[in-house]
Amino acid sequence: MILPWTKLIPTAISLVEVAGSVLSSNQKEKARLAKINDFDMETLAKRIEVLESNELKQAELIKEMAQQNLILIKNAENNYKLAIIGFITALIAIVLLFILFVVKL
């Protein structure tokens, strides 16, 4: 089976975009929190909320990457099976050709 590159490439692009947005949001939030020197309960609660949000984004990104890997693995398995079938078919053809050549002599 041929790899569905038309489906994989847009998904890969969206994965890169999501990863970039997660990274930029982490950097922005880190810079904002670095400016705050006091650690009162409200600030800590906001930081925990940001961390939980980023964790959910990362989990979604990992899920999408795992789905892409699963598609690639299934396609690789199918290609392997096709290669084995082609190899066996070629061997049978060579043996039959040899037999026909010997019989004709």
Residue position matching structure tokens 């066996």: 88
Residue 5: per-residue pLDDT: 60
Residue 37: per-residue pLDDT: 59
**What are the angstrom distances between the C-alpha of 96 and each of 37, 46, 67?**
82, 75, 44
From 29, 7, 30, 27, select the one nearest 19 (Cα to Cα). 27
Residue 85: per-residue pLDDT: 96
Binned average pLDDT, 10 residues per bin, the chain of 105 residues: 64 71 72 66 85 90 88 90 96 95 85
Residue 38: per-residue pLDDT: 60
Residue 14: per-residue pLDDT: 72
Residue 97: per-residue pLDDT: 94
